[in-house]
Amino acid sequence: MNEPSLVEPTIKKVLNSELRMSNEYKFEQNSLLLNLGLFIVFVVFFSFILWYSYKGKQDPFLKREKDKKKREYILSKLQHYQKMKQEVFTNIPF
């Protein structure tokens, strides 16, 4: 005996094929978006690494200038404190 069927076999095949094609299309779109997103993350990550490594290095001239400014700042502060120390001793009332 045949069991009763609510849907004809041809309609069932058409719906299955349409659902399969829809699933494949959705999978392709999701794969494309995922690959594009990961590519963008990859490019941004390595661009940041390259930028940071380039930014961190100074040429010898700039390094000498920076050291010179540090030295001058320290010397000016030392001279300022020595001057203050001398003024304290010279302004003592007798």
Q: pLDDT tens digits for 37-81?
A: 999 999 999 999 998 888 767 788 888 999 999 999 999 999 998
Question: Which pLDDT score, from 0 to 100, does residue 53 have?
Answer: 84
**Distance, CA of 18 to CA of 15 (rounded, Å):** 5
Is pLDDT larger for residue 90 or for residue 44?
44
Please give the structure tokens belonging to residue 57. 């290095």
Q: pLDDT tens digits for 3-49?
A: 878 889 899 999 999 999 999 999 999 999 999 999 999 999 999 99
pTM for the model: 0.52
- Nearest by Cα to 29 from 19, 17, 37: 37
Give Cα 79 to chain centroid, integer Å: 44
Radius of gyration of the chain (CA): 39
**Distance, CA of 92 to CA of 94 (rounded, Å):** 7
